Structure 1
Amino acid sequence: MPGENGSEPSELDRLLPEWHFRELHRVPVRGVATDRVMAAVHATTWGEAPLARALVALTRADVSAGRRIVPDFLSTMGEVAPSAEDEFLFVGAQAPGDTPRPPGTLLEIVTGCREPGILKVGMNVRYAQGVLSSETRILATDERTRRVFAPYWYLIRAGSGLTRRSMLAAIRRRVLRESRRS
């Protein structure tokens, strides 16, 4: 089954092929080698994405100007998962309320847990077919957990979307700036 834009399936496609909640944002970055784009994904800082920085600062997270967005910040929300050279992937799991988190790594929980009361989260930043994208997928292990999470998702989704678009735009600017230098 092809991934987004007719590309090969992503690790996120393999990890969470089904979801209850999804957010996907894209920006074109044509004619640039994958390694250059992914280097920018790993190097872009909060100082380069002022709107994202302002929005995330509301959560009291550390968004110091020199702190890298993807490897430093996003990985604090979960666990970096193995992925391909064109993708940065992390996973997370939450057990809302008094549900104990199942044993195992976050990757093991996301791929294998079937216990009720768990939210499985996968998020990536990927460059494929000239498009830089960021996607989040969330799967609840039962209907009650899905219903409880839904209002929160709809509350944060707009701010999350603005944050992602700002982050992707900052990465794109860095890629284009560095491409002009070489």
Structure 2
Amino acid sequence: MSGEGEPELERLLPEWHFREIHRVPVPGAAAEVMEAAHATTWSEAPTARTLVAITGADVSGRGLIVSGFLSGMGEVLPTGDEEFLLAAVQGNGRHPRPDGSVVDIVTGCDQPGILKVGMNVRHTAGVLTTETRILVTDERTRRRFLPYWLLIRFGSRLTRTSMLRAIRARVLREAASA
């Protein structure tokens, strides 16, 4: 569990080539906010839903953002009450080590052509944050990935802020009805 200290993402990918962070203030206990994060649906985040639908992902209105879309991107790892962590590996249509877990590959594989992805959603000190880090295993892959990263950053920012705002709205609704 990460506690008030270092996020688990820091342990998974302490170094990165590409990084994106978004934050919104959200009052409440971390466990309640993270429970709301896991319960937030695509219908609550219309901007995110529209942008992700472009990729062909299933974003039906009642679908859960975290357990649906995010877990479809990689492995969602339990980290405690205040954070969840997603780990993913992509590269050249091949799996770097078929016998390894995603975490083992992210932390141990240095095979060329691999993108190591870590993303978290974390609530500490009244702030809900999502951070994405991407580490590539060689310079050629970094150069090839850069144009894609530059292209998707704006849409990714809109998607993430829409998701965070939807979680905040859910937390505030639940607090008002309590």
TM (normalized to structure 2)? 0.94
Structure 1 unaligned blocks of 5 or more: none
1:34 and 1:106 map into 2 onto residues whose CA distance is: 26
Which residue of structure 2 lines up, in the alignment, with residue 101 of structure 1? 95
- Summarize deviations over 1:62-84 as a string: whole Å, max 9, x none: 00000000122101000112312
Partner AA of 2:155 in structure 1:
G
Which residue of structure 1 lines up, in the alignment, with residue 9 of structure 2? 12
Identical columns (%): 63
Partner AA of 1:180 in structure 2:
A
* Residue 35 of structure 1, CA deviation: 1.3
Runs of 4+ in 1 over 6 A off after TM superposition: none
Q: Does 1:134 pair with 2:130?
A: yes
Alignment root-mean-square deviation, CA: 1.3
The alignment of Structure 1 onto Structure 2 pairs a total of residues equal to 174
CA contact 1:24–1:135 (8 Å) conserved in 2: yes
1:129 and 1:138 map into 2 onto residues whose CA distance is: 26
- Summarize deviations over 1:114-142 as a string: whole Å, max 9, x none: 11111100011110111001110000011
CA contact 1:126–1:133 (8 Å) conserved in 2: yes
> Residue 163 of structure 2 is aligned with which of 158, 163, 167?
167
Structure 2 unaligned blocks of 5 or more: none
Q: Does 1:28 pair with 2:25?
A: yes
CA contact 1:88–1:125 (8 Å) conserved in 2: yes
- Summarize deviations over 1:126-164 as a string: whole Å, max 9, x none: 101110011100000111111111100110110011000
> Residue 54 of structure 1 is aligned with which of 41, 50, 56?
50
2:141 and 2:79 map into 1 onto residues whose CA distance is: 28
CA contact 1:81–1:89 (8 Å) conserved in 2: yes
